[in-house]
Structure 1
Amino acid sequence: MEVDGGLYPNVPPGFLAADSTRARIKREVNDDGESVMDDIDNLPLSKRMRMLLAGKPSGSSSGSGSSGKVPTCNVDEAVIEEARPSKGAERGAIPKNDPSHQSMPRCGRNEAGPSRQSVDPCYVPREGQHLSDVAREGGAPMILRGRGVRTHWPDWFRDPQPLFFQVLERTPLFGLFRVRLSKTNMALLSVLTERWRAETHTFHLPFGEWGITPYDIYMQLGLRYEGGSIPFEEDLPIPTEDDWMSLLGMMPDSSDFSGLRFKLLWLSANFSRRIPQTEAEAVVKARALILYTLGAMIFCHGNELVSSRLLSLVADITFPTSYNWNAALLAHLYEGLDKASRCSSRSFTGFYPVIEVCFFDHFPHLGPSLINRTPPFPRMMLWYKDNRSRTRQFSDLAWRSNVDALVPDDFHTRPYFRSAATLTPEAQEAFQASRRRRILEDPRVTKWYLGETFLAVDW
């Protein structure tokens, strides 16, 4: 593919010509039907050590035995220390010699280290910067920014479009298109992020670990937990001009591109107000809306861009049936929380509004009062601003105090039991998936979901 004066003028020539070098974690299924990891030898040494120490399954098909169990072994502490990445070496961290490091939030840790006296066990000292450093020293919460997420699309559905709706109903992403939400409480999310641990992907509350599960994602957003992993971006083809014209009928200008990503605004400006007159026109608009949804909700990075490589996934508008978008959204959300909790970013990435509504469902005494409590599906529609009669207003420190004071009796273990959607096979599949350890993947990252460490939620 020509680069100079070609389709993607801002991309280095070597990037387009180079083969993918990212090692893909292979998966297989053991006798219990659980996903296990393969090819552990291809992983970095630091990651292999962390997996062995945590007791995560390797499931190597070449070894003796396929149960995925890791044998007990004695690992020398010096080897562990050598394998542990240095500060700032983790993915997404900003090196200290980077000019932007000076503008990053300071977490307030002193040279001597924090006092361990009368400290909440959830605010344990740890290596590197973490938002809990501020909480441990009694400082005001650092309010993180929420950027880029779109929770409704009035321009796309402004006029009656029966053909368009018929096409959208054939895609399992249809639940996302119905979601509407009021402004997210960033103070609450910042306080919860202080208690987020990237090692377990859970919020460490005063009485146990709680987090967002695949079951929550299905009930709140209607995304099924089924299908295979989405290919990594570097495994997807770079679209040619013919691809753009055949799938969308037009192509962004060079000014709309940033590398291989293009502006969401281009999709909205060119497709949102179209009124399809034929099914073919409805399919084209549906492809544009799905691409917009991937950049604005599922894989939101806060930069108003979406990868052009994802265009190949919308060739068939029923494509989501082949991929597990529930796991992909959750993996991307975990990545955003990991970066925010480690002070690698001052803003959230991923579809963070789902954290707030899940928290209110499990801890209703801190949530807003609702006018109509009849549970809709997807459930996130229940929390739209027009259905809120009163929203509890707390200061930043008051939100932290409320979270610090949570007790087991405050936790609602069955927030969805009134919904008829819990009886569907799709809900049961997501429910069972939430009880076990799983691998979650989006086009960029791979994350562990440790279902066995969560608080008992309906099981």
Structure 2
Amino acid sequence: MVENYLRSTRFYHVSRTGVIRGFHPLLAALVERWRPEIHTFVLPVGKVTMTLEDVAHIFGLPIDGEPVSGWIDCSADFLQSQSIAIFSREPIVSHSSKSYIKLGWVRRIKDAEPLDTEESIRRYVRCQIFYLLGSTLFTDKSTAYAHAKYLPLLRDFERIHTYSWGSACLAHLYRALCRTSRYDTKEMDGPLNLLFIWAWDQMSCIALVSTQTLPPAEIPVAMRWSHSERTTAWLSKTVAKFRHDIDYM
């Protein structure tokens, strides 16, 4: 029964990829080639960009279905009622913004679920999905909290898998890249796992490991990178080095 519920979400495996950190030089080399007006990287070899098909392959996310949209209510009553409906508990929120729920708290709830009843299984899956939304698909700069606006999308358990999560994830990445390409922006949020894995697959010259040493690609492709044997050599690569590798690939 547990496997059936997990499989119905179609993207629970994404959590194993984790959040990729420490790639600021590569990120800078990519962002400076992003053109917001056409949502495309302009490289010496031509113009390339991420597509919905890339999102489906890398994360295993559905790209067809209902749009991920809805209304936002930042009131305390909304947050409490939604949290009790989804997690069966009052939420632990950010001190600076009461609309953000602490992901560590959600993870502890998930890990404590006994999975001995249908309701426990559903609560486990909802926690897992909400954690993915905040830590992987729609991350903000804190990476420790997720906005409560996603909670209503998880209430109807039978509809969770019908949303086009892949389309929303790609749109979120496009918007993050456009914001970051401004001269006065110093940080970037968004699904960086998607960006880096796409770049490594498309431009092997900047990959952190040789693609020949990776296991065969299966959907989600992100899984093959999450278990790769990595060295620390890439830590010494500078923005100038990544620029050179991209220019002469």
Name the TM tier (shorter chain): 0.7 to 0.9
Go from structure 1 to structure 2 and tell me whether the alpha carbon gap of 1:178 and 1:169 turns closer, same or farther (over 3 Å shift): farther
Matching of residue 396 in structure 1 with residue 236 in structure 2: no
Go from structure 1 to structure 2 and tell me whether the alpha carbon gap of 1:375 and 1:346 turns closer, same or farther (over 3 Å shift): same
1:181–1:383 CA contact under 8 A, matched in 2? no
Give secondary structure in 1 for the equivalent of 2:72. helix
Matching of residue 185 in structure 1 with residue 28 in structure 2: no
Summarize deviations over 1:291-313 as a string: whole Å, max 9, x none.
Answer: 11111111111222222232111
Matching of residue 345 in structure 1 with residue 188 in structure 2: no
- Partner of residue 284, structure 1: 123
Give secondary structure in 2 for the equivalent of 1:348. coil
Go from structure 1 to structure 2 and tell me whether the alpha carbon gap of 1:384 and 1:271 turns closer, same or farther (over 3 Å shift): closer
Structure 2 Cα separation of the partners of residues 386 and 227 of structure 1? 33
- Partner of residue 259, structure 1: 98
Matching of residue 365 in structure 1 with residue 205 in structure 2: yes
Length-normalised TM-score, structure 2: 0.85
Structure 2 Cα separation of the partners of residues 356 and 373 of structure 1? 18
Give secondary structure in 1 for the equivalent of 2:62. coil
Structure 1 Cα separation of the partners of residues 149 and 59 of structure 2? 25
For 1:198, the aligned partner's letter is P
Q: What does 1:199-278 align with in structure 2 at a 5 Å threshold?
A: 199-234=37-72, 239=78, 241-253=80-92, 258-278=97-117
Structure 2 Cα separation of the partners of residues 258 and 390 of structure 1? 37
Q: How far did 1:240 drift?
A: 5.9
Give secondary structure in 2 for the equivalent of 1:199. coil
For 2:189, the aligned partner's letter is T
Q: How far did 1:351 drift?
A: 0.7
1:236–1:310 CA contact under 8 A, matched in 2? no
1:239–1:312 CA contact under 8 A, matched in 2? no
Structure 1 Cα separation of the partners of residues 40 and 61 of structure 2? 21
For 2:225, the aligned partner's letter is W
Higher relative contact order (CA 8 A, sep 6+): 2
Structure 1's unaligned 5+ residue stretches are 1-162, 407-459
1:171–1:319 CA contact under 8 A, matched in 2? no
For 2:173, the aligned partner's letter is L
Go from structure 1 to structure 2 and tell me whether the alpha carbon gap of 1:255 and 1:404 turns closer, same or farther (over 3 Å shift): closer
1:179–1:380 CA contact under 8 A, matched in 2? yes
Q: CA RMSD in A?
A: 2.8
1:244–1:251 CA contact under 8 A, matched in 2? yes
Q: What does 1:136-155 align with in structure 2 at a 5 Å threshold?
A: none
Structure 2 Cα separation of the partners of residues 288 and 234 of structure 1? 20
For 1:288, the aligned partner's letter is C
Q: How far did 1:194 drift?
A: 0.6
Go from structure 1 to structure 2 and tell me whether the alpha carbon gap of 1:211 and 1:249 turns closer, same or farther (over 3 Å shift): same
Structure 2 Cα separation of the partners of residues 391 and 320 of structure 1? 41
Structure 1 Cα separation of the partners of residues 233 and 222 of structure 2? 16
Summarize deviations over 1:176-213 as a string: whole Å, max 9, x none.
Answer: 23435764532112101011111111111113111111
Q: How far did 1:372 drift?
A: 3.8
> Between Structure 1 and Structure 2, whose CA radius of gyration is higher?
1
Matching of residue 377 in structure 1 with residue 219 in structure 2: yes
2:206–2:246 CA contact under 8 A, matched in 1? no
Identity of aligned residues (%): 25
Number of corresponding residues: 244
Go from structure 1 to structure 2 and tell me whether the alpha carbon gap of 1:179 and 1:195 turns closer, same or farther (over 3 Å shift): same
2:94–2:145 CA contact under 8 A, matched in 1? no
- Partner of residue 12, structure 1: none
Summarize deviations over 1:236-264 as a string: whole Å, max 9, x none.
Answer: 99736444333321111566672322222
Structure 2 Cα separation of the partners of residues 280 and 292 of structure 1? 18
Go from structure 1 to structure 2 and tell me whether the alpha carbon gap of 1:258 and 1:204 turns closer, same or farther (over 3 Å shift): same
Matching of residue 319 in structure 1 with residue 159 in structure 2: yes
Structure 2's unaligned 5+ residue stretches are none
For 1:310, the aligned partner's letter is Y
Structure 2 Cα separation of the partners of residues 257 and 373 of structure 1? 43
For 1:340, the aligned partner's letter is T
- The farther-off stretch of 290-299 and 269-278 is 269-278
Matching of residue 170 in structure 1 with residue 170 in structure 2: no
Structure 1 Cα separation of the partners of residues 96 and 238 of structure 2? 41
Structure 2 Cα separation of the partners of residues 342 and 208 of structure 1? 22
Length-normalised TM-score, structure 1: 0.48
